Chain A
Amino acid sequence: MAEAVVRCLRDGRLDGEHAPALAVEGSLQCCPLAAGAMLHIAAAFASQVAAGKAQARGLVVVAFDRSPLVYLEFMRRRSLDTNALDRCVRILDCYSDPLGWKQKIQNQQHQGNSAKQFSTNKENITVYRSVKDVTKLMSSVTELGGGFEEGKKYFSVAVDSISSMLRHASVPSISGLLTNLRSHEQVSSIFWMIHSDLHEPKVPRAFECLSTMVACVEPALVDPVCGESPGNLSVLEQNYSKAKFIVRLKRRNGRVKHLYEDLYIEGNDIKFDSAPSVSIEVNQSLVPKAQFNLELSEKERSDRANVVLPFEHQGNGEPIRIYDGRRSLPEAQRDLSLTAPALVDEIKAPKSGTAKGEIHYFRDSDDEQPDSDEDPDDDLDI
């Protein structure tokens, strides 16, 4: 469930390690669902923080794609009251006026007046006007984060979305920002959203490198003939109402855990469901070419020596018992005549009497390893 992801974020960082980071990747085909997933994770995390269960004391949301009111509204619907919101959530508003144009226009219009900042009356929303300056963004985020509680307390950061940030800043500067945030001593966890098909393939992969968890929101149905049948709205409809939520968790033991879920919209809310069908094609590509282990352990060697082979003289003075696989041993002896005289290597004098239908078998030498490259012609003295 998305629970696992929220739990990881909630638990935060261990001493001496960087903060855990979640990358939510969406695509254009399931764009609203990816946005919904981001809102859900932010809201779930905020409620954990408000309940005091998280390592962080607050959440700083860097909002590029949506107005801050959308976040607050969504969290309110998830039963977070205003007090808790004021206490635990701060939003850095990079949506209303990212490049500072509105303020410039306002300043020009009201040249004589004391130009007040066009700030809202909400306490927990701060407008940020210079998105091209990543260093200043970093300091604003840490400033907001430090303002949650007195003393050195942890806070978490959510960036929504990196794709919008990439319009203004370069990949190295944003990666540097995320790395600095992750290694910042007060940051408990960080999560961001990126739309993978809006960029070159190496860009979302670069951000995946920086993360410890990757959650991909993929369309539920992939349209095989994209765009060729524009009248086919059912696929689009399906893709707008549900999607697959695939999570890759990088664990401390050095392995990667895959989780699969379905995500769908119900009314105004996002819901997660455990997936009925697990995609196995992921694993097929990972299976490398494996060889058979042809060595025998000691136990296996002694077991092999003890195996009673059919058609063989056990050498303990008793009459030959030939087991042909169908009947029990004593009866088979009487049915010797019925067995086919097929496998005859060399004649060995039998102990029991019957003249026809005898099978004589020489066991191969035990010393010879199977598939050894001895040339049988080596014995010839020419």
Chain B
Amino acid sequence: MAAAGGRTLGRSSFSRATSNPVASSSGASGVKIGPNGAAFVSSGIPDLDRILGGGFLLGSVVMIMEDADVPHHLLLLRCFMSQGVVHKQPLLFSGAMKEPRLFLGTLPAPVSSSKEDGRYRAMGAAASSDGQANDEGLRIAWQYKKYFGDDSRAEHKDNKQEFSNDFDLRKPLERHLLNGQNIECVSIQDADTLSGLQDCCTSFLSKLPRKDGGSLTAGRIAIQSLCAPQCRYFEKDWDMVSFIRSLKAMVRSSNSVAVITFPSTVLSNSFCKRWQHLADTLLSIKAIPDEDKDLAKLLTGYQDMVGFLRVHKVAQTNSQVPVILEASTLSLKLRKRRSLVLERLNQAPVDGSSGPSSAASSSCSSQGSQLDF
């Protein structure tokens, strides 16, 4: 990456020489420039941004499959909307409720950066900057350098903090931030068709055209429970699919991100597949059973988990290189009951006397019997 400071080894003749002077100004408007001309906005959850490789890609449609049993999709949606409000980005919200404005009252406020959080971030950054220092000593083949993102560099730590905030889910967002803000709310519960919502989206997105190297005002569209059973257009499957398709086309040519949550179980299988295919980034929520001894034995930190998040697809529009994730299932936890963290699932240490060791020995013995020359 040309932005990789003093490391001349990283300058590959194949990478686009993107100048990165907007790094400091992009932080203010909440847009981060990434490799291959991609621009990201934060999802409101720093862990999710890191896992998705920078955040939500501008011009993509993110779909979240809800679990009928748990309302965690609302947590993700709230963090996304709050991040937009904090960064003063225009927001269009639509929900299957009578008064969508009331939902704005549940948006969380950013965590005031206390010393403890600062230390936590410093630890994370320091560990990775040590890693970078060690890399200087190691001889890494030059073509691999360009895949090292610059998110882990200590000097960008301040920008990163501005790009993506931790939200305190127990504190509501201040009213004055919501009032002076370009927020539109549309209710889709009593609408017979989706054409009203489509018109709103068209007018919203026409104000955010995408220009190369132009203004970086990014907009956000948040739609909650698009195919909720109480909506009057619920049985019009094809109408809903064509709405999503036209929204995707409009978003692709504008400077915005659309996040749509939908209860996947209320769609028929074939339409559920169509919806999943239309998504650029696809996430799903899974419920976690309570007081389950088997899961408690299997996973560490089971007590703190509130649910599972699965990442099925990650948007990649400007490059042929797919995003390969370390882990596709993550656990949702509430750190100190207020901010959302995503963690990999770790297996709890197994008792020596229990199952797995005996299984291993039995498999060894069975293999031994097969090696019969």
**How far does the alpha carbon of A292 sit from the alpha carbon of B299 in the complex, in Å?**
9
CB < 8 Å A-B pair total: 114
A236 interface hit (Cβ, 8 Å) = no
B164 interface hit (Cβ, 8 Å) = no
B160 interface hit (Cβ, 8 Å) = no
A326 interface hit (Cβ, 8 Å) = no
B20 interface hit (Cβ, 8 Å) = no
**How far does the alpha carbon of A200 sit from the alpha carbon of B265 in the complex, in Å?**
12
* A256 and B288 form a contact (CB under 8 A): yes
Question: Shortest beta-carbon distance, A272 to chain B, in Å?
Answer: 20
* B286 and A286 form a contact (CB under 8 A): yes
* A291 and B327 form a contact (CB under 8 A): yes
* A290 and B235 form a contact (CB under 8 A): no
* B294 and A250 form a contact (CB under 8 A): no
A248 interface hit (Cβ, 8 Å) = yes
Contacts of B64 in A (CB 8 A): none
Question: Shortest beta-carbon distance, B303 to chain A, in Å?
Answer: 10
A112 interface hit (Cβ, 8 Å) = no
Number of interface residues of B (CB under 8 A): 41
* A209 and B263 form a contact (CB under 8 A): yes
* A291 and B346 form a contact (CB under 8 A): yes
Q: Which of B229, B307, B347 contacts A209 (CB 8 A)?
A: B229
Question: Shortest beta-carbon distance, A237 to chain B, in Å?
Answer: 33
B52 interface hit (Cβ, 8 Å) = no
Closest residue to A179 on the B side, CB-wise? B230
Closest residue to B331 on the A side, CB-wise? A288
Contacts of A171 in B (CB 8 A): 229, 234-235
A175 interface hit (Cβ, 8 Å) = yes
A207 interface hit (Cβ, 8 Å) = yes
B266 interface hit (Cβ, 8 Å) = yes
Question: Shortest beta-carbon distance, B97 to chain A, in Å?
Answer: 9
* A291 and B70 form a contact (CB under 8 A): no
* A172 and B234 form a contact (CB under 8 A): yes
Closest residue to B299 on the A side, CB-wise? A290
**How far does the alpha carbon of A176 sit from the alpha carbon of B294 in the complex, in Å?**
39
Given contacts A171-B235, A172-B231, A248-B69, contact A255 B287 (CB under 8 A): yes
**How far does the alpha carbon of A250 sit from the alpha carbon of B291 in the complex, in Å?**
13
Closest residue to B332 on the A side, CB-wise? A254
* A290 and B68 form a contact (CB under 8 A): no
**How far does the alpha carbon of A172 sit from the alpha carbon of B344 in the complex, in Å?**
39
* B347 and A291 form a contact (CB under 8 A): yes
* B295 and A292 form a contact (CB under 8 A): no
* A257 and B346 form a contact (CB under 8 A): no
Contacts of A286 in B (CB 8 A): 286, 288-289, 295
- Residues 135-178 of A, flagged 1 when their CB comes within 8 A of B and 0 if not, give 00000000000000000000000000000000000111101101
B292 interface hit (Cβ, 8 Å) = yes
Q: Interface size class for chain A?
A: 35 or more
Q: Which of B72, B266, B308, B345 contacts A291 (CB 8 A)?
A: B345
Contacts of A210 in B (CB 8 A): 229-230
* B327 and A172 form a contact (CB under 8 A): no
Given contacts A202-B265, A283-B294, contact A290 B345 (CB under 8 A): yes
- Residues 174-186 of A, flagged 1 when their CB comes within 8 A of B and 0 if not, give 0110110000000
* A289 and B263 form a contact (CB under 8 A): no
Question: Shortest beta-carbon distance, A232 to chain B, in Å?
Answer: 32
Contacts of A292 in B (CB 8 A): 346-347
- Residues 294-311 of B, flagged 1 when their CB comes within 8 A of A and 0 if not, give 110011100000111010
A110 interface hit (Cβ, 8 Å) = no
A7 interface hit (Cβ, 8 Å) = no
* A255 and B267 form a contact (CB under 8 A): no
A302 interface hit (Cβ, 8 Å) = no
**How far does the alpha carbon of A248 sit from the alpha carbon of B70 in the complex, in Å?**
11
B228 interface hit (Cβ, 8 Å) = yes
Q: Which one of A248, A287, A290 has the highest number of Cβ atoms from chain B below 10 Å of its Cβ?
A: A290
**How far does the alpha carbon of A211 sit from the alpha carbon of B56 in the complex, in Å?**
32
Question: Shortest beta-carbon distance, B357 to chain A, in Å?
Answer: 14
A208 interface hit (Cβ, 8 Å) = yes
* B299 and A175 form a contact (CB under 8 A): no
**How far does the alpha carbon of A216 sit from the alpha carbon of B50 in the complex, in Å?**
40
Q: Which one of B233, B286, B345 has the highest number of Cβ atoms from chain A below 10 Å of its Cβ?
A: B345
A253 interface hit (Cβ, 8 Å) = yes
Contacts of A170 in B (CB 8 A): 235
Question: Shortest beta-carbon distance, A214 to chain B, in Å?
Answer: 8
Contacts of A257 in B (CB 8 A): 289-291
Question: Shortest beta-carbon distance, B283 to chain A, in Å?
Answer: 14
Contacts of B308 in A (CB 8 A): 288
A293 interface hit (Cβ, 8 Å) = yes
B71 interface hit (Cβ, 8 Å) = yes
Interface positions, chain A 234-250, Cβ under 8 Å from B, are 248, 250
* A200 and B306 form a contact (CB under 8 A): no
Contacts of B189 in A (CB 8 A): 176
A28 interface hit (Cβ, 8 Å) = no
Closest residue to B67 on the A side, CB-wise? A256
Contacts of B268 in A (CB 8 A): 200-202
Contacts of B157 in A (CB 8 A): none
* A202 and B306 form a contact (CB under 8 A): no
* A172 and B288 form a contact (CB under 8 A): no
* A289 and B329 form a contact (CB under 8 A): yes
Interface positions, chain B 54-70, Cβ under 8 Å from A, are 68-70
* B229 and A291 form a contact (CB under 8 A): no
* B344 and A291 form a contact (CB under 8 A): yes
Closest residue to A283 on the B side, CB-wise? B294
**How far does the alpha carbon of A248 sit from the alpha carbon of B286 in the complex, in Å?**
14
A251 interface hit (Cβ, 8 Å) = yes
Closest residue to B291 on the A side, CB-wise? A257
B101 interface hit (Cβ, 8 Å) = no
A205 interface hit (Cβ, 8 Å) = yes
Closest residue to B268 on the A side, CB-wise? A202
- Residues 244-285 of A, flagged 1 when their CB comes within 8 A of B and 0 if not, give 000010110111111000000000000000000000101100
Contacts of A287 in B (CB 8 A): 294-295, 298
Q: Which one of B189, B229, B306 has the highest number of Cβ atoms from chain A below 10 Å of its Cβ?
A: B229
Given contacts A250-B70, A253-B290, A293-B347, contact A209 B306 (CB under 8 A): no
A206 interface hit (Cβ, 8 Å) = yes
| Interchain residue pairs with CB less than 8 A apart (11) | A172-B231, A202-B268, A206-B234, A208-B265, A209-B266, A254-B306, A255-B288, A257-B291, A286-B295, A288-B310, A291-B344
Additional A-B contacts beyond A202-B268, A253-B306, A286-B289 (16; CB < 8 A): A171-B229, A172-B231, A172-B233, A172-B235, A175-B230, A176-B189, A202-B265, A202-B266, A210-B229, A251-B290, A256-B69, A256-B290, A257-B290, A283-B289, A288-B310, A293-B300
